[in-house]
Structure 1
Amino acid sequence: MLRACSLNPLSAFRTCRGIHSTAAKQAIPVQAEPKEKRVARWTPKSIRTGVIARKRGMTAMWDDQGARHPVTVLQLDNCQVTANIKSIRKDNTEYHAVQVAASDKREKNTTAQMMGHFKKANVGPKQIVKEFPVTPDAHVPVGTTLSAIHFVPGQFVDVIANSIGKGFQGGMKRWNFKGLRASHGVSVSHRSSGSMGAHQDPGRIWPGKKMPGRLGGVRITTQNLKVVRVDTALNLVFVKGCVPGVDDAHVMVRDAKKVMVALAQHNHAKALFEKVLPKGVDDLPFPAGTQELAKTLPPVIEAPSTRTSPFLPRE
């Protein structure tokens, strides 16, 4: 296993350019490098696309200091780019996005309209299609297969999914109400919500009152989850903590907006270049981490522990 601090995903794309003398430049004019061969680099102002993964379940990991951490295993299931979107808003600003699809689907169960869309992108039919807003420099070629190396161990991500539906629940489970007294004088109303409103004035219950109702089954974003391990052989991403959704459900994973995108722009504007990316992360694959890039890297990459050993003396 390698540490995240030694990972530089773009090192495989760097090329050395020769230095020509003045006489050589006069004899042979140097042509500009084609745009398709130029290597794009990640900048703090860049916003990359996200991926669609499947939640495979939770397990535990131990870091090099012996600390135990609960992690959730996310697997990329043949995640491919199906379109690059560019549109003009009403205020004449440009909207850029990358459309991603995942999980193969039978052709007979796919509508003719979606089959035409997938054939245009030269990919097979998929179960789920989502789009991620990006910056103009972060478009990905259509048909590209994304890999788990899109996320570098040590960085933070946001996971978006529908939460588990709990059905109709009372106020204590839905809103964490304390409940009534479990002693004399309350009878059989220990778990009731209590008083709902006033008497004659206003004579009704205010809108938005926390009351019993349906719990769960809504879109939830879990923010700032740390990527602790990446398995490129099985396309697995191990994130620290829990994510919404049931097992095998599709989830959307993107760079954390607060501690990755916003913080990078803030520190870069203050010239704090060593704090642009999290500790141990040198660079991010840009515009995306592909299968071709994964073949040039070790199959398993793990982030180093941020804890200090309790057995070593402090400096």
Structure 2
Amino acid sequence: MLRLWALQRTPTGVCRLRHLHKTGIASATPVTSSSASKASVEPTKWTPDSIRTGLIARKRGMAVMWNDQGARFPVTVLQLENCQVTANIRTIRRDHTVYHAVQVAASDRPAKTTTRQMLGHFKKAKVPPKRIVKEFPVTPDALVPVGTTLSAVHFVPGQFVDVVANSIGKGFQGGMKRWGFHGLAASHGVSVSHRSSGSAGNCQDPGRIWPGKKMAGRMGGKRITTQNLAVVRVDTNLDLIFVRGNVPGVDNAQVLIRDAKKKMTALSSHNQAKGLYEKVLPKGVDDLPFPAGTVELAKVLPSIIEAPAYRRSPFTPQE
């Protein structure tokens, strides 16, 4: 799964962050089903046509890191909170195709604040009650045994991921803040309407506002997907995932992480069909944990795994 550099790598620096704590992996229920034992005996292999499950994490905030060449870049820290598999979903569609999905739950909650219906669902899966439950569409070969506790090693440093979350709500905003309008002239002839949007519609023909017109309204608070974020570091002790760049949502909000659809799933299948086997996975990534990265796999890996820069140093003059 990882190169030799990943097994011998040590952290280059410590990021000072708030609200970081050890997740409740010790309270996770081990998998004892027959399907789990069969999967351990007969491990499957990741293929470009495989679609793995995603994870539910909590956004802990942003920090900065320095790569091997001394270049500074921003990162967002995502932490897993006892993320476990609660069900495998199989549904036959109207066109007789089969829909497969893995249901994942995260963030333990007290039983007294959980509904009886969900208590029965979690009891059947033999996991503690959770705060958030989501499902991720997968291929039939990527189903995960119920009760499996997922780890941050599910994502390999060097690969790309998509992060889905609700953006920060800004409330009712005008056209300048919401759409970037430059406003009206702040000189002669304009009185107390410098931030106005101006004319919004046509005259008698058509005599209405066209649908989709950029006007004042509620801003933010929508489901946003940030695509193609690079995973730069994984901490197996605290179940931290460091992704390069920013992700939507406020601090401590729940986010969904999955393999990048464009740079991982679609591009891998495209390069595989063209025979470009060295470009099936991103540079430096030999394989992905399949069907998922578990806490058992994390125990045999280093506590800190980082991805090298793979670029020319910006501080070295070009010849």
TM-score for the superposition, normalised by structure 2: 0.87
Larger Rg belongs to: 1
Say whether residues 1:196 and 2:200 are aligned partners. yes
Give structure 1 regions of 4+ aligned residues with deviation exceeding 3 angstroms. Answer: 310-315
Separation (CA, whole Å) in 1 of partners of 2:170 and 2:92: 41
8 Å CA contact 1:98, 1:133 repeated in 2: yes
Structure 2 residue corresponding to 1:294, chosen from 273, 298, 309: 298
Q: 1:57 matched to which residue of 2?
A: 61
Q: 2:27 matched to which residue of 1?
A: none
Determine helix, strand or coil for the equivalent of 1:174: helix
Say whether residues 1:103 and 2:107 are aligned partners. yes
Determine helix, strand or coil for the equivalent of 2:224: strand
Q: Deviations over 1:71-91 (max 9, x none)?
A: 000000000000000110000
Q: 2:168 matched to which residue of 1?
A: 164
| Per-residue deviation, 1:36 | 5.6
Q: Deviations over 1:183-217 (max 9, x none)?
A: 21122111111111111111111222111111011
Where does the alignment leave 5 or more consecutive residues of structure 1 unmatched?
10-33
Separation (CA, whole Å) in 2 of partners of 1:197 and 1:216: 25
| Per-residue deviation, 1:310 | 4.4
Instruction: Quickly say closer, same or farther: Cα 1:224–1:267, change in 2 above 3 A.
Output: same
Q: 2:151 matched to which residue of 1?
A: 147
| Per-residue deviation, 1:313 | 7.2
Q: 1:25 matched to which residue of 2?
A: none
| Per-residue deviation, 1:306 | 2.3
Report the AA paired with residue 73 of structure 2. H
Separation (CA, whole Å) in 2 of partners of 1:111 and 1:155: 38
Separation (CA, whole Å) in 2 of partners of 1:251 and 1:108: 25
Q: Deviations over 1:253-286 (max 9, x none)?
A: 0000000000000000000000000001110000
Separation (CA, whole Å) in 2 of partners of 1:103 and 1:79: 7
TM-score for the superposition, normalised by structure 1: 0.89
8 Å CA contact 1:8, 1:283 repeated in 2: no
Separation (CA, whole Å) in 1 of partners of 2:313 and 2:220: 40
Separation (CA, whole Å) in 1 of partners of 2:317 and 2:215: 54
Separation (CA, whole Å) in 1 of partners of 2:147 and 2:191: 65
Separation (CA, whole Å) in 2 of partners of 1:7 and 1:252: 29
RMSD: 1.7
Q: 1:74 matched to which residue of 2?
A: 78
| Per-residue deviation, 1:98 | 0.1
Q: 1:303 matched to which residue of 2?
A: 307
Q: 1:125 matched to which residue of 2?
A: 129
Instruction: Quickly say closer, same or farther: Cα 1:201–1:311, change in 2 above 3 A.
Output: closer
Say whether residues 1:186 and 2:190 are aligned partners. yes
8 Å CA contact 2:86, 2:146 repeated in 1: yes
| Per-residue deviation, 1:302 | 0.3
8 Å CA contact 2:91, 2:100 repeated in 1: yes
Separation (CA, whole Å) in 2 of partners of 1:7 and 1:78: 28
Separation (CA, whole Å) in 2 of partners of 1:191 and 1:144: 55
Report the AA paired with residue 79 of structure 2. Q
Report the AA paired with residue 214 of structure 1. R
Report the AA paired with residue 61 of structure 1. M
Instruction: Quickly say closer, same or farther: Cα 1:62–1:35, change in 2 above 3 A.
Output: closer
Separation (CA, whole Å) in 2 of partners of 1:308 and 1:179: 43
Determine helix, strand or coil for the equivalent of 1:99: strand
Q: Deviations over 1:16-54 (max 9, x none)?
A: xxxxxxxxxxxxxxxxxx776111110000000000000
Q: 2:267 matched to which residue of 1?
A: 263
Separation (CA, whole Å) in 2 of partners of 1:7 and 1:113: 47
Q: Which moved more, 1:36-45 or 1:127-136?
A: 36-45
| Per-residue deviation, 1:309 | 2.2
Structure 1 residue corresponding to 2:283, chosen from 279, 283, 290: 279
Over the matched positions of the two proteins, sequence identity in percent amounts to: 74
Where does the alignment leave 5 or more consecutive residues of structure 2 unmatched?
8-37
8 Å CA contact 1:4, 1:303 repeated in 2: no
1:211-226 alignment, distance < 5 Å? 211-226=215-230
Structure 2 residue corresponding to 1:41, chosen from 27, 40, 45: 45
Determine helix, strand or coil for the equivalent of 1:39: coil
Separation (CA, whole Å) in 2 of partners of 1:78 and 1:109: 18
Separation (CA, whole Å) in 2 of partners of 1:116 and 1:93: 30
